[in-house]
Amino acid sequence: MSAKTRESTKPMLASIKEHPGKRADSTARLRQRVLDAALTCFAAAGVEATSVADITRLANVSTGSLYHHFDSKNGIAEALYLQGLDQLNSGVLGRLNRCRSARTGVRSVVLQYAEWVSANREMAGFLYAGDVVMSDAARLERKRMYGRQIRAVFEWFARYVARGEMRHIPADTYVPLISGPIQEYTARWLSGDAQRSPAALKALFADAAWNAVKT
């Protein structure tokens, strides 16, 4: 909600509820305990199939306390979703910004995605499942995040497209061409249909990505 976007680990949107002073610490701890428990449940069974009682049980928190910190079950899912998306995005963008050529840039997107997903399997599964029903506020926040991300990535690539080092194709199709294969593989891995972690195959998919968009 504020300006800082990258590397942030704190939940977005919820920041309004943060309090300064002595109890802020234990408050944040409880919030995180709830988010952690919810992630585990959501990843395992989906948001709808997870009951609030499942979360309170796992987080060891009372119903009332949970609702003191979150608006609703779906509010937890939204906070988690935005937190995860922010993490994934900022990881990719941060790495991209340290690259100095079209090829390393394109490959870095895939490499970072593969690594993050392999290291955060639960969160990846949760984000991939896409069963969060977004409220208007959350939708706005996501749009803001996506906008920033897409704009930053496109600005980075645009110069190489302009130089003729990358193909000139519809804007809509870069992401599918670059990320589609690793994402599809990841989906199979998450569902148990593929054995090796995405990280183990990252070089192959990174090469394919570059191959798909280079001139």
Partner DNA sequence: AATGAATGAGCCTTCATTCAT
Partner DNA sequence: GATGAATGAAGGCTCATTCAT
Residues near DNA (CB under 7 A): 19, 22-23, 26-27, 30, 50-53, 61-65, 67-69, 72-74
Q: Is residue 163 within the footprint of a copy of itself (CB under 8 A)?
A: no
Within 60-98, residue ranges assigned H as helices are: 63-69, 73-97
Q: Is residue 204 within the footprint of a copy of itself (CB under 8 A)?
A: yes
Q: Please choose which of a copy of itself, DNA, none residue 211 contacts, taking the beta carbon within 5 to 8 angstroms, the exact cut-off set by kind.
A: a copy of itself
Longest dimension (CA), the chain: 59
Residue 166 CA to residue 154 CA, distance in Å, equals: 12
Give me the least distance between CB of 159 and a copy of itself, in Å please. 23
DSSP for residue 166 = B
- The piece of 31-39, 58-66, 95-103, 179-187 that touches a copy of itself (CB under 8 A) is 179-187
Decide if 214 contacts 165 (C-beta within 8 A).
yes
Q: Is residue 112 within the footprint of a copy of itself (CB under 8 A)?
A: no
Give me the least distance between CB of 184 and a copy of itself, in Å please. 4
82, 212, 169, 143: CA torsion to nearest 10: 0
For the record, the structure tokens of 209 come out as 């990505």
Q: Please choose which of a copy of itself, DNA, none residue 51 contacts, taking the beta carbon within 5 to 8 angstroms, the exact cut-off set by kind.
A: DNA
- The piece of 58-66, 78-86, 96-104, 203-211 that touches a copy of itself (CB under 8 A) is 203-211
For the record, the structure tokens of 91 come out as 């990881």
- The piece of 32-40, 53-61, 112-120, 199-207 that touches a copy of itself (CB under 8 A) is 199-207
Residue 110 CA to residue 171 CA, distance in Å, equals: 18
